[in-house]
Amino acid sequence: MATPAAQLSPSRANVLGATGTFGAALPFLALLVIGVTFPLFGGGYWGVIATRACVYWVLVSGLNLVVGFAGQIAIGWVALLTLGAYTASVLAAGNATPELPPYLALAIAAAVGAVFGLIVGLPALRLRTFYFAITTLGFATIVTQVALAWQSVTGGGVGVAGPSFPPPFDSQWGFYYFCFGLAAICTWMTANVAASRFGRALTAIRDAEVAAEACGIAKPRLLAAVFLFSGAVAGVAGGLFASLQSYITPDAFTLDLSVLFFIAILIGGRGSILGPLLGTILLTVLPEFAAPLVAWSTFLYAVLLLVIVLAIPGGIAEILDFKNRRPLESHRAIIPRPELLDRLIGETPDAGALTLEGVALSFGGVRAIDGLDLAIHPRQVHGLIGPNGSGKTTTLNVISGYYAQQRGAVKLDGAALPAFVRHRRAHLRIARTFQTPRIVGAASVLENVMIGGTIDGDGSFVESLLSLPRHHRDEARLRETAMLALAAVGLERLADVRADRLQHSELRFTEIARALMLRPAFLLLDEPAAGLSADEIERLGALIGAIAKAGTGVLLVEHHADLIFAICHHVTVLNLGKMLAAGMPAEIRSHREVVNAYLGG
Amino acid sequence: MVQSIILSGVAIGCIYALIGVTYNVMFSASRVFSFTAGTLGMLGGVLGSLFIAQIGLPVAAGLFLVLAAAAIFGVVTEIVAVRPVLRSLDQHLYVLSTLALALIVQQFTAIEWGTDARPFPRLLDLARGGFDQQYWLPMLACAAVIVGLELLYRHTLIGHAFLAISEDTYAARALGLPERRLRMASYALAGAIGALAGFAGGEMLLAFFGNAPMLTFYGFVPVALGGMGNNRGAAAAGLMLGLFQQAANFLVGGIFASVAVFAVFIIVLLARPEGLAGAKLQRRV
């Protein structure tokens, strides 16, 4: 067999929406060239527009991580622009403190923005969609009111002068280059994050939150980092905005601006950097081409938003995604290569047993599980079967921490596992799949699998932001492992395909590959054969058998009796939350009660 | 002074409560919170001023037209912003589609009606007094709506059908209820209630396009605190909100009131995301 690197080397998956590294970078390079040479073409007024687009993008780039990647509907982000603008202006003007140099004022604006970004954002950890949206809306209303009322500092309705930067950034083009430079840096940083395990984790939180938890992604920490970053760049954008306007009043910060930022992202497409960048430029420039329409601009943005939501939810990024319009092969077979599993999970030492002792859980009056004992051993496949409603999936959910048992204990190697800290399960190398595959449809198959290895990295969020060496090492390793996992389950040819184009059976194998990224000590499979063809079930059985042989303890919840009896070392039969029988497959197959209750004669 | 704080507080609270009920009526029919709730309140004020003060229609005719127009907007909301989203996989899109629709109407109003607040006509030819019509009209409207909805839900066949839909859409559909038509009827009803809030409270709030986001936010507070779908909870929370806000307005200034309301809102939501009059968690896996 050839060396893994050569054979499995993927065409680098892209996060930017085009083909390959260079293809992905090309539009950005073009924009960079246009931006740098812009003063040669544009007249004075266009300079103001271009500067404004840069300032807006500084904010939108950060907001894009919140809205486009993490999927948090933050519609009142203008509040952070307001805060940044007033902080920078008031400090530079010396209304409340001694006059500060503009750069220091800008830095403090960034800090204030970061803190408030965190404050506005944190409710997102507990509140869902509409609630969070309305919270940010309320915050935006209040910040403007405070700016209006706190006259001694903000100048109230009269306003305050924005900071002016010293040479060489005092001229129109000087200031343009300053803003352009910052916009370029923001583009670079957010593109780095987007292409990192953090960016993928954000999309997982957005589209498959339950799976994200199962992969060990700690939503609070990750979102806190993103809100800090997004708030900081919004603060900087505020300072630049104040300087560009040269004088600010609360009127300058209407909800219309928030709408513009938000819609720029949605028009651009969620989970893309290039799309929202183009969206921001488009929305900033568009009203200038149709002067009579300026009054109608927000109206038109709103119409555009409605059309995008209803007609092309993927936005510009989806339109530009030519690669994924190429038809896929229609008769694709999934041919796993179990021999690769040894390389993937074989090196990790065996864990002790995963045991359930007298576990019970009721929902209201229904006893879902009623005193269940179970032991899963490494290198064995443990089948869990029973009629619908007998408590199989509930058992799996208790093991993976989604439900807390009311009695009894779940122990790993003798130590009790805490309930309700779901993302800690991944650190104990307990992986799972879901009855309905939970996949990030807009990401490639490879990226989906890499999500499974999110906790397996050394670099921090900041290191990814700045593209430092550890970030690259993490990425290279994750990519290699993910290709190996894909090859093992037989999907490596689909690595670069958007996951929502896959067939149902392929999604099931993708989930297994994602779970393998943890090099799991225990793998919990929730009806993996549901919806598969007979051939596929046979290959799935061989794959599961090989996973166990490589050292993993497998819990297999399944209805396909043939599969269970073919590969399980041990079978537990549940009925009404209680154990009906347990033993070797041969014993179960001839167990009178099991045959009567479940298998049929 | 105490009297005027209480009167204006209860009156404003009744308007918030009515917007909260508007949210609830739409929510029970579709499991969707619509950003158009506050827009409906704003339309009640603006259209009322347009029909009665500008065009010069009698009050009763004006009220009828306002309610009819708002009911139509409610139905349009259902058709344009809610129904397509309920069909799609990513149901969170409703936040965006209803936001877009709310903004479209709000911006259209700002352009065609103007961005300045315009006066709302006095509806009844009565002398001004302590317990003025600008205070008791919203209270009357709120009481009438809450009692009316209660009677509708408890004692009429269509009310039972509404309840069935809100309890379990699939089961209701399986029973042969015309789910889509009932949902459209709910949105029409919600439209009329929202506009009635703005109409009855027109003298206090004026005919102003900016009332839309204001009411969208303050009208949602009673829903969040009172528990979604719970009209009585919304009424109680709305009254508390109005009284608190007016008292703080008079005593320590409006900024503090807004900040305090916001802080309470966030804290309650974080502590009890299901509202003070709670409900249970949903099954996720």
pLDDT for the residue numbered A21: 64
How high is the pLDDT of residue B88? 73
Is residue A559 within 8 Å of residue A353, measured between CB atoms?
no
Chain A / chain B CB contacts < 8 angstroms: 103
Instruction: Write out chain A residues lying below 8 Å of B253, CB-based.
Output: 149
Q: What tokens does B135 get? A: 């205070």
Would you say A207 and A71 are in contact if contact means Cβ atoms under 8 Å apart? yes
In the numeric block, the tokens 């009806």 are attached to: A527
Q: A419 or A329: which carries more pLDDT confidence? A: A329
**Alpha carbons within 13 A on the beta-carbon side of A447:** 29
CA-CA distance, A499 to A506, in Å (whole number)?
9
Confidence of residue B89 (pLDDT cuts 50, 70, 90): low
* Residues of chain A contacting residue B224, judged by C-beta atoms under 8 Å apart: 131
Q: Which residue type, as a one-letter code, is found at position A395? A: T
Residue positions counted in chain A: 601
Q: Which of A137, A210, A259 is opposite residue B284, by nearest beta carbon? A: A210
Look at chain B and count its residues.
Answer: 285
Q: What was the pLDDT predicted at A477?
A: 94
Kindly state whether A409 is in contact with chain B, defined as any CB-CB distance less than 8 angstroms. no
**Mean pLDDT for all residues in chain B:** 87
User: Helices in chain B by DSSP H: which ranges?
Assistant: 2-30, 36-48, 59-77, 83-87, 93-113, 133-155, 157-167, 169-174, 179-200, 202-205, 211-226, 231-252, 254-271
pLDDT at B48 over 70: yes
For residues A436 and A234, give the distance between their C-alpha atoms in angstroms, rounded to a whole number: 38
H helices of A122-253, where?
129-149, 151-154, 172-194, 197-207, 209-214, 219-245
Of chain A, the percentage scoring pLDDT greater than 70 comes to 96
CA A86 – CA B255 distance, rounded (Å): 17
Q: Which residues of chain B neighbour A123 with C-beta distances below 8 Å?
A: 266, 269-270
| Residue-level pLDDT at B275 | 66
Half-sphere exposure (CA, 13 Å, Cβ side) for A374? 37
Q: Is A224 exposed, middle or buried (0-12, 13-18, 19+ CB in 10 A)?
A: middle
Interchain contact, A137 vs B217, CB within 8 Å? yes
Take residue A330 and report the two structure tokens written for it: 């229609």
DSSP per-residue string spanning A266-315: HHH-TT-SHHHHHHHHHHHHHHHH-GGGGGGHHHHHHHHHHHHHHH-TTH
Mean pLDDT, chain A, rounded, equals 87
pLDDT in tens, A70-87: 989 898 899 999 999 999
Radius of gyration of chain A (CA): 27
Residue A129 is nearest to which of B95, B258, B266, comparing CB atoms?
A: B95
Q: Under a CB-based contact definition with an 8 Å cutoff, are residues B206 and B118 in contact?
A: yes
* Single-letter residue type at A323: K
Q: How many CB atoms lie within 10 A of CB A349?
A: 7
CATH number for the domain running over B2-118+134-271: 1.10.3470
Distances (CA, A) of A58 to A169, A266, A278, A417: 17, 16, 13, 44
Judge whether residue A14 has pLDDT over 60: no
pLDDT at B46 over 90: yes
Across A534-538, A560-564, B116-120, B262-266, least confident range: B262-266
As given in the structure block, the two tokens for residue B76 are: 């349009």
Chain B residues inside the 8 Å CB shell of A393: 285
- Classified as helix, coil or strand, A415 is strand
- Per-residue pLDDT of B150-203, as tens digits, reads 999 889 888 888 888 888 877 888 888 888 889 999 999 999 999 999 999 999
CA distance B109 to B111: 5
Beta bridge partners of A369: A361
Percent of chain A at pLDDT > 90 equals: 46
> Mean pLDDT over residues A385-392, rounded?
86
For A450-503, the three-class secondary structure string (H helix, E strand, C coil) is HHCCCCCCCCCHHHHHCCCHHHHHHHHHHHHHHHHHHHHHCCHHHCCCEHHHCC
Are B100 and A303 inside 8 Å of each other by CB? yes
| Per-residue confidence band for B281, with pLDDT thresholds at 50, 70 and 90 | very low
Asked if pLDDT for residue B40 goes beyond 90, the answer is yes
- B interface mutation test: which of A306, A396, A397, A434 has the most B CBs within 10 A? A306
The predicted model gives A267-296 an average pLDDT of 85
pLDDT of residue A375: 92
A285 or B256, higher pLDDT: A285
pTM: 0.88
> What is the ipTM, given to two decimal places?
0.88
What average pLDDT does the segment A175-203 reach? 95
Chain A residues within 8 A of B84 when measuring between CB atoms: 310
Residues of chain A with CATH 3.40.50.300: 353-429+520-599
pLDDT at B254: 66
- Nearest alpha-carbon partner for B110 in B218, B254, B213: B213
Q: How confident is the model at residue A17 (pLDDT cuts 50, 70, 90)?
A: very low
CA distance A433 to chain B (A): 11
Q: Look at residue A547 and tell me whether its pLDDT is greater than 90.
A: yes
Facing residue for A141 by CB, picked from B81, B101, B213: B213
Among A43-47, A420-424, B11-15, which range has the highest average pLDDT? Answer: B11-15
Residue B37 confidence (pLDDT) above 90: yes
The enclosing H or E element of A598 equals none
Distance from CA of A303 to the nearest CA of B (A): 7
Helix (H) or strand (E) holding A505: helix A504-516
| pLDDT tens per residue across span A225-238 | 999 999 999 999 99
| A303/B270 Cβ within 8 A | no
Topology of the domain comprising A28-322: ABC transporter involved in vitamin B12 uptake, BtuC (1.10.3470)
Instruction: Tell me the CB-side half-sphere exposure of residue A528, using CA atoms within 13 A.
Output: 30
Instruction: Work out the number of other CB atoms within 10 angstroms of the CB of residue A441.
Output: 16
- The yes-or-no verdict on residue A2 having pLDDT over 60 is no
Q: Report the share of chain B in percent with pLDDT over 70.
A: 94
What is the pLDDT, as a whole number, of residue B44?
A: 96
- Phi and psi dihedrals of B229, rounded to 5? 80, 0
Q: Does residue B198 contact residue B14 with C-beta atoms inside 8 Å?
A: no
Q: Which residue of B has its CA nearest to A149?
A: B255
A8 pLDDT band, cuts 50/70/90, is very low
Give the range with max mean pLDDT: A97-106, A253-262, B29-38, B70-79: B70-79
Residue A20 is predicted with a pLDDT of 52
Q: Would you list which residues of chain B are within 8 Å, Cβ to Cβ, of chain A? A: 33, 80-81, 84-85, 88, 90, 92-97, 99-101, 103-104, 107-108, 111, 213-214, 216-217, 220, 224, 253-255, 258-259, 262, 265-266, 269-270, 273, 284-285
Select A353-429+520-599's CATH number: 3.40.50.300, 3.40.50.720, 3.20.20.370, 3.40.50.2300. Answer: 3.40.50.300
Residue A356 has pLDDT above 80, yes or no: yes
The answer to whether B13 touches B170, Cβ cutoff 8 Å, is: no
Of residues B77, B20, B70, the one with CA closest to residue B45: B70
- Is residue A595 pLDDT above 70, yes or no? yes
**Which ranges in chain A are annotated with CATH 1.10.3470?**
28-322
Residue B140 in this model has a pLDDT that exceeds 70:
yes
